Chains A and B, each alone.
Chain A
Amino acid sequence: SAVISQKPSRDICQRGTSLTIQCQVDSQVTMMFWYRQQPGQSLTLIATANQGSEATYESGFVIDKFPISRPNLTFSTLTVSNMSPEDSSIYLCSAIPSGGLNTEAFFGQGTRLTVV
């Protein structure tokens, strides 16, 4: 299993500013991902955080808007840049522990972002 800690848990930000969300896993993981969950909606994959290289972004998400870092196996950050009210959402970090194929994906508690 894996315990995932995200911070901050919530924030209220001014439009035009940027927020960096941190994700720390308590054990080595093979894969880390960032999802967005708008209020009352499902989870949408933003990108796969690759260790030591550029993240792999899904359609509709770009590096300039959502830069991601993953300097080691257990830590990743997601930055929401030049925020607008449309970025208000819950951002979730996810990780799959090392070993096996298609093992359980664990989630952080989420970061609730409100842009005003």
Chain B
Amino acid sequence: GENVEQHPSTLSVQEGDSAVIKCTYSDSASNYFPWYKQELGKRPQLIIDIRSNVGEKKDQRIAVTLNKTAKHFSLHITETQPEDSAVYFCAAPSDTGRRALTFGSGTRLQVQP
């Protein structure tokens, strides 16, 4: 099955700075990589995802990059705001062809005003 590693576990930035969270995966056949944001006491919500046929995807202040050769993908948040403070999880399919997800360990992002 898939193994997903995520770092850093905590990240503190000043408002307006950029934040980068990195994940690696083990299964070279994995082809879908979502990122979820979970605010305290709330459900995880998808913020962006990328498929293996592209190397980068952007949505306003959020971008994800994928390096299939190195088997890693990263979340980039620019111009961070206090409301970006949350726990972020990367994920990958648990097994080839399955839609269940294996999650990374999570990154607690704190944006200081």
In the assembly, what is the distance between CA of A58 and CA of B34, in Å? 21
Q: Is the CB of B43 within 8 A of A102?
A: no
Given contacts A102-B31, A102-B32, A107 and B43 within 8 Å (CB-CB): yes
Interface SS of chain A: helix, strand, loop or mixed?
strand
CB distance from B64 to the nearest CB of A (A): 14
Q: Is the CB of B103 within 8 A of A43?
A: yes
Is A116's CB within 8 Å of the partner chain B? Answer: no
Q: Is the CB of B103 within 8 A of A105?
A: no
Q: Is the CB of B93 within 8 A of A102?
A: yes
In the assembly, what is the distance between CA of A19 and CA of B111, in Å? 38
Q: Is the CB of A45 within 8 A of B94?
A: yes
Is A33's CB within 8 Å of the partner chain B? Answer: yes
In the assembly, what is the distance between CA of A108 and CA of B44, in Å? 9
Q: Is the CB of B102 within 8 A of A31?
A: no
Q: Is the CB of B43 within 8 A of A31?
A: no
Partner of B34, one of A44, A92, A104: A104
Q: Is the CB of A31 within 8 A of B42?
A: no
Residue on B nearest A6 in the bound complex, by CB: B43
In the assembly, what is the distance between CA of A102 and CA of B42, in Å? 23
Known: A101-B32, A104-B34. 19 other contacts (CB 8 A): A33-B100, A41-B105, A42-B105, A43-B44, A43-B101, A43-B103, A45-B100, A45-B101, A48-B100, A58-B94, A92-B43, A94-B101, A96-B99, A102-B93, A105-B99, A107-B43, A108-B43, A109-B42, A110-B43
Give chain B's interface residues, CB within 8 Å of chain A.
Answer: 31-32, 34, 42-46, 49, 51, 89, 93-94, 98-106
Give chain A's interface residues, CB within 8 Å of chain B.
Answer: 30-31, 33, 41-45, 48, 58, 92, 94, 96, 101-102, 104-110
> Can you show 28 pairs from A to B with CB atoms below 8 A apart?
A31-B100, A33-B100, A41-B105, A42-B89, A43-B44, A43-B101, A45-B94, A45-B100, A45-B101, A48-B100, A92-B43, A96-B99, A101-B99, A102-B31, A102-B32, A102-B51, A102-B93, A102-B99, A104-B34, A104-B46, A104-B49, A105-B34, A105-B46, A105-B99, A105-B101, A107-B44, A108-B43, A109-B42
